[in-house]
Structure formats: C-alpha cells, structure tokens
Amino acid sequence: MPFKSFRRDSAGTLPILFAAALLPLLGFAGGAIDYGRSLVDRTRLNNALDAAVIAGAQAAGQADTKGLSQPMVIAAANAAALASFKANFKLPTDAKPVFSTQITDRSVLVNGSYTASTSATLLQVLGFRSLPIQGIAQSGVDLAPAVDIYLLVDVSGSMATGATASDIAALRANLGGCAFACHDGVKVRGTNYDSFEWAQANGIGLRLNEMNTGLKDFMSWLQKQPNAGTRFRVALYSFSNNLTKLVDITSDLTQVGINLPKLPSASSRTEGGTHFMENMPQFASVVGVGGDGITRPKKLVIIATDGVQDKDRTWAEAANPVAAGQGVAPFAPAACRTLDQSVFVGVLYTPYIDLNWDWGFNATLGQPSQVGGKGRRFDDIVPQLQSCASAANLYVNASTVTSVGEAFAAIVKVFTQIRLSK
C-alpha cells in the first residue's frame, strides 16, 4: 500500500483508542472499589483505637485503686490498651498500634495511634500496591482526687459529758447530780482529782475519749486506702474558747494519732466555752481555697462537735438565767459559710444529751427555738448542723454508725469516686 494511502486509512483505530482509554477507566473504577475498602478498614481501626484508649484509662483507674506505683499504673494502662486493640480480628494484618500514658497530678491521659494499609486490587494497574491509613485517639481518667482534710474537733467543756447513758449515770451518782466531768481543778470530795481526772481514773467514758478513739481508728482506715500518702493530707485543729493547731497539714498520717487533744478545755466562768462563730474566720483563713483534686487538692473540713455555741458560764450567775443564756444555742450555719465556697464541709455530730432534768439545760437549750422551729433550741441542733454541711451525705450522726471512726470514714468516702472521660 502506498504510504499516502496508509496515512489516510483509519480502519482499526477504534480498538486502539478503546484500549488506550481502558487503562485509566479501570484505574478510576479500581480506585473507587479500593477506596471503599480502605474506608471500611479505617472505620474498624478507628473503632478499635477508641476502645483501646478507653480500656487503658479504665485500667489506670483500677491500678491506682489497688495502690500500685505510678510506673505500674502506666504499664497497666498501656498493656490494657494494646490487648484491647489486638483483640480485633478483622483489622489489616500490617496494623501497628502505639500507646503511651501520661500522669499529671491525679489526671491520666492515654494516647494511641496506628499506621496500617489496605492492599490495592485494581489500582495496581496504575502502580499503587496499597493505600496508607493512620489515626490517633486519646482518653483521660481522673483518679480518685487528692484531698486535704481539715479536722476541727470540739474540745469545749460539754465534750466532757459521759459518752453513754451508763457513763452519765455514773457521773451524776458521784458528782452531786452533774453529768459533766468538768476539768476545773475543784476536787471531788474525798479525792485529789477534779471531776475530769476522777472520771478518767475510774474508767468512765467521756465524749472526748470516744472522739480520740475515733480519730485513731479513722487514721488507721485512711492509711489503708490506695496511695494514701499521695492522695491525702490531714490537719488537726481543736476549738473551745480559742482555735488550737495540733497538726499542720501533712501527708504523714501518723501525726494525728500521736497529737490528739489530751484534755477538754478547762472549765470555769469564762473558760471551756464553745466559741464556734468567733473561731471560724481564723480557721477559714487557715483552710484557704479548695482545688479540683487534680492540679490542686480538694479541701474537706470535718467539724466534729455536739453543735452548741456557749460563750461562757456567766449566764448561770444572772438573776434571770433564761434571759442571760440566750447565747447558748445551736451553731448558726452562717458560721460555716465563712469558709470559701470551694471548700466542702462535713459534719460529724456527737449527739448532745437531752438533759431535761438539769436546770441549766432547761434555762438555755430547753427554751423555745430561736430560728422559727416548733420545739426547743435543743431540737434545732440537728437541722442547723445539717444546713452547715455542704451536702446531705456529708452529715453523719455518730449514734447511727458503729463508731466515731466509721463516721469520719463515711464522710471521706464521698471523695473516692473515679470519673472516666473519652
């Protein structure tokens, strides 16, 4: 065929053009199919990674609850995350997960990432052997919060009341009808002891004895809690006429047990009173502002008291004790509000005894309510203390539990919650 004729002859060009166009068409079609497969793999991998970091965060919380060290908590979190990821069987065989855990204060952050690929099929005609995939995720958990516990213990003269009905009966039988073992230096007839010393020498239990036993039991319980040395610090203060620091805030929980109040406040006309309202501003400045439990400790104040304000005993000498004794009354919740609103307030109530046979009681707490209640001032003690507490479950009546130590522990347990966030 002449060359010019060959150039003009177009027979057979369509198959050639079709073949030339087929390759990119196959590439586009293959890309859609392979990309769809890659999206399925990516979804499975992301779901597996999300579940893995959450499992790691949960494991960190559980390890902390067991009291494990920080390196062991981190190891437990990473191991749990890896095990969770590998439990997924439909992931690409080349998936490579990496997990790391960071602990800052009482906050844990578990980070996860992966690299993988989806094998190409039709895209191989365009030279692509696989489609790369990668992803990241993280989950956090706040461990049981760090808490500074400020114990404020009433050591006024009323804390020298008999601890039980039989103790009160023994005091009355030997102290001329008085139910208080006053530490006033006045000798009990025929002895060299004042009322408090006599009660101690004769094994009569007093509220202060019960309180000190409870403080020891509470410290023993607290020391057994996971990571107690890093989670808890404790301070111990007592109050009567004045505020007294017995133990400054410390993580050495043994200090409270060896620095307990040794005596009730000395009792006299002007000593041994309960100056709760007057002492609270000073105490509030000591406590300061509470934190979030993560970067700074939460602050919990536990007030252990019988809940009665009593400035002094001069009212008993007045011509009209009822009029002069108006200041003997239940604690005012407003006194608790002098603490910063970021501070939680717990109340451990050691029940004031209904001394309706005592003239002094009848002249003061036996008088009608001063806050609009339907009964006596005595009947207002519990609702006033309940209003003082930050929440209903932060008020505990010591008579409703087996011991004072258990009452302290019940309040603190409110702060041992673990919160998980994704």
Task: Please give, one letter per residue, the 3-state secondary structure of 384-419.
Answer: HHHHHCCCHHHEEEHHHCCCHHHHHHHHHHHHCCCE
Neighbours of 254 (CB within 10 A): 11
Q: With contact defined as beta carbons under 8 Å apart, do 147 and 97 qualify?
A: no
C-alpha to C-alpha distances, 342 to 132, 227, 283, 315, 375, nearest whole angstrom: 50, 24, 15, 38, 34
Query: Is 168 part of any domain?
Result: no
Residue 226 confidence (pLDDT): 77
Same structural domain, 120 and 227: no
Asked whether the whole model's pTM tops 0.75, one would answer no
Domain that holds residue 20: 16-142
The pLDDT confidence band at residue 358, using thresholds 50, 70 and 90, is confident
Highest-scoring range by mean pLDDT, 30-34, 187-191, 199-203, 345-349: 345-349
Residue 167: inside a domain: no
Structure tokens at 350: 């050691």
* Mean pLDDT for the stretch of residues 241-264: 90
Together in a domain, 131 and 274: no
Q: Nearest 5°: CA angle at 240, between 209 and 303?
A: 70
Residue 320, in any domain of the structure = yes
pLDDT value of residue 248: 97
- Model confidence at 253, in pLDDT bands (50, 70, 90)? very high
- 391 token code pair: 């929440």
Determine the Cα–Cα distance for residues 422 and 57; give it in Å rounded to an integer: 9
Across the range 70-76, mean pLDDT stands at 93
Same domain, 272 and 303: yes
Better pLDDT: 69 or 264: 69
Q: Let me know: does 120 contact 35? Beta carbons within 8 Å.
A: no
Could you tell me if 124 and 41 are in contact, meaning their C-beta atoms sit under 8 angstroms apart? no
Number of folded domains that form the chain: 2
Instruction: Say yes or no: 157 and 109 in one domain.
Output: no
Tokens of residue 195, six digits: 């009322």
| C-alpha closest to that of 344 among 150, 144, 146, 142 | 150
Tell me how far apart the alpha carbons of residues 357 and 177 are, in angstroms, rounded to a whole number. 10
Burial class (CB in 10 A: 0-12, 13-18, 19+), 120: buried
Write the CB contacts of 343 (distance below 8 Å, at least 6 apart in sequence): 287, 289, 290, 299, 300, 301
> Is 137 in contact with 50 (CB distance < 8 Å)?
yes
Question: Measured in whole angstroms, how far is the alpha carbon of residue 96 from the centre of its chain?
Answer: 39
Average pLDDT, the chain: 85
Decide if 184 is inside a domain: no
Residues 307 and 210 in one domain: yes
> What is residue 7's predicted lDDT score, i.e. its pLDDT?
53
Domain identity same for 123 and 216: no
Same domain, 91 and 65: yes
- CA separation for the pair 306, 308 (Å, rounded): 6
**Can you tell me the mean pLDDT for 320-325?**
92
Question: With contact defined as beta carbons under 8 Å apart, do 301 and 249 qualify?
Answer: no
Identify the pLDDT of residue 355. Answer: 84
In a domain, 348, yes or no: yes
The answer to whether residues 283 and 333 belong to one domain is yes
> Does 195 reside within a domain?
no
Residue 6 pLDDT exceeds 50? no
Q: 């006429």: which residue's tokens? A: 241
119 with 248, same domain: the answer is: no
Question: What are the helix and strand counts (H, E) for the chain?
Answer: 14, 12
Instruction: For the beta carbon of residue 346, count every other beta carbon within 10 angstroms.
Output: 27
| H helical segments located in 153-225 | 165-174, 195-201, 207-223
Question: In 3D, which of 342, 373, 301, 337 has the Cα closest to residue 149?
Answer: 301
Domain endpoint, select from 113, 142, 171: 142
Containing 49, the helix (H) or strand (E) segment is helix 13-65
- The reply to whether 122 and 220 lie within a common domain is no
Answer yes or no: is 314 within a domain. yes
CATH number of the domain at 214, please.
3.40.50.410
**C-alpha to C-alpha distance for 415 and 147, rounded to whole angstroms:** 8
pLDDT at 422: 33
Do the domain assignments include residue 386?
A: yes
Residues 324 and 255 both lie in one domain: yes
Is residue 103 over pLDDT 80?
A: yes
Mean pLDDT calculated for residue range 249-276? 82
Q: Do 155 and 137 have their domain in common? A: no
